[in-house]
């Protein structure tokens, strides 16, 4: 399985500011995803992070609000821009398609970043 | 498009009792099915998955699930639960191939002594 780390693990931010969350994997992966889990809710896919091209966003999520980068096969960032209290959530990255095809169609999740916006 | 329904938001059960967490899905294409567990203040851990083959799937921590195509269900079962099984359980579905996951709303399993 993949070992995934996220930074920061938690943060408290002021309204109107931006926060960039990092996701690092210990091996090259084909697919990387970003999810949001609002308090007491299930996970909602924000976008698929594509290596070398623009991310693919789900309905209701836009690049201006959630810019994503993926410079290589082991790293991605998600920025939450111009934050409001409604952005308070846990943000999780996940990966699929490990090197050599191991774990094909089995997503592994990072520990999450717990964001509180005041 | 796929969707997942977890009818029970909470399931209280006594320790050593059996438990079943229900999951139904809808999809117009072939699917893969998953159960994830989330312990308090932690990320998600894969319990088990169905990709193909035997419809009875065994996972970690003594859990198992049965894929029923005719009833579009993938219920999770454990014959005897422990206090440590207290957690949120999420059922998820994806299309075949590299595909995104659609999650159900989750079921909180509350195990008491």
State pLDDT tens for residues A91-106.
Answer: 999 998 766 555 556 7
pLDDT of residue A40: 83
Other Cβ atoms within 10 Å of B97 Cβ, number: 11
Mean pLDDT across B102-107: 94
Q: What is the pLDDT of residue A101?
A: 58
> Is the confidence at residue B78, as pLDDT, over 80?
yes
When pLDDT is averaged across residues A38-47 and rounded to a whole number, the result is: 91
pLDDT at A104: 59
Taking contacts as CB-CB distances below 8 angstroms, the residues of chain A near B106 are 42
**A51 reaches B (C-beta below 8 A):** no
Predicted pLDDT of residue B2:
86
pLDDT at B95: 83
pLDDT for residue B18 is more than 70: yes
Does the distance separating the beta carbons of B101 and A105 come in below 8 Å?
Answer: no
CA distances for A32 relative to A72, A85, B33, B52, angstroms: 11, 26, 19, 24
Segment B10-25 mean pLDDT: 97
Task: Pick A45's closest partner by Cβ from B44, B45, B100.
Answer: B100
Taking CB atoms and an 8 Å limit, are B98 and A92 in contact across chains? no
Instruction: Suggest the residue from B44, B95, B106 to mutate for an interface test with chain A (most A CBs closer than 10 A).
Output: B44
Query: How far does B31 lie from chain A, in Å, by closest CA?
Result: 11
Task: Please report, to the nearest 10 degrees, the dihedral formed by the alpha carbons of residues A105, B26, A48, B32 taken in order.
Answer: 0
Of B102, B44, A51, A88, the residue nearest A80 (C-alpha)? A88
Asked if pLDDT for residue A15 goes beyond 60, the answer is: yes
Residue in chain A closest to B46 (alpha carbons) equals A108
Give per-residue pLDDT as tens, B35-76: 999 998 788 999 999 988 889 999 999 999 999 999 999 999
Residue B31: closest C-alpha in chain A: A105
Of the residues A30, A49, A107, the best mutation for testing chain B's interface (the one with the most B CB atoms within 10 Å of its CB) is A107
CA dihedral A91, A32, B96, B31 (to 10 degrees): -10
Residue A15 in 3-state DSSP?
Answer: coil
pLDDT at A58 > cutoff 90: yes
Higher pLDDT, A28 or B37: B37
What is the maximum span of chain A, computed from C-alpha positions, in angstroms? Answer: 44
Taking the C-alpha atoms of residue A33 and residue A27, their distance in angstroms, rounded to an integer, is: 15
B106 contacts A111? CB cut-off 8 A: no
């Amino acid at each position: 399985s993949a070992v995934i780390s996220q930074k920061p693990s938690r943060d408290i931010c002021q309204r109107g500011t931006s926060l960039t969350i990092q996701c690092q994997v210990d091996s090259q992966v084909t697919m990387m995803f970003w999810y949001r889990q609002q308090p007491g809710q299930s996970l909602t896919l924000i976008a698929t992070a594509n290596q070398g091209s623009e991310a693919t966003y789900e309905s209701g999520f836009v690049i201006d609000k959630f810019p994503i980068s993926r410079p290589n096969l082991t790293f991605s960032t998600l920025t939450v821009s111009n934050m409001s209290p409604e952005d308070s959530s846990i943000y999780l990255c996940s990966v699929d398609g490990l090197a050599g095809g191991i774990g094909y169609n089995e997503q592994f999740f990072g520990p999450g970043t717990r964001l509180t916006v005041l | 498009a796929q969707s997942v329904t977890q009818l029970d938001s909470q399931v209280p059960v006594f320790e050593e009792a059996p438990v079943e967490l229900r999951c139904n899905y809808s999809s117009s294409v072939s699917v893969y099915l998953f159960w994830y567990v989330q312990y308090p203040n932690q990320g998600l851990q894969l319990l088990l998955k169905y990709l193909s083959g035997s419809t009875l799937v065994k996972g970690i921590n003594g859990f198992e699930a049965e894929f029923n195509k005719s009833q579009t269900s993938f219920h999770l079962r454990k014959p005897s639960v422990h206090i440590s099984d207290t957690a949120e359980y999420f059922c998820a579905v994806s299309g075949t191939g590299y595909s995104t996951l659609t999650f159900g709303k989750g079921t909180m399993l509350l195990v008491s002594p």
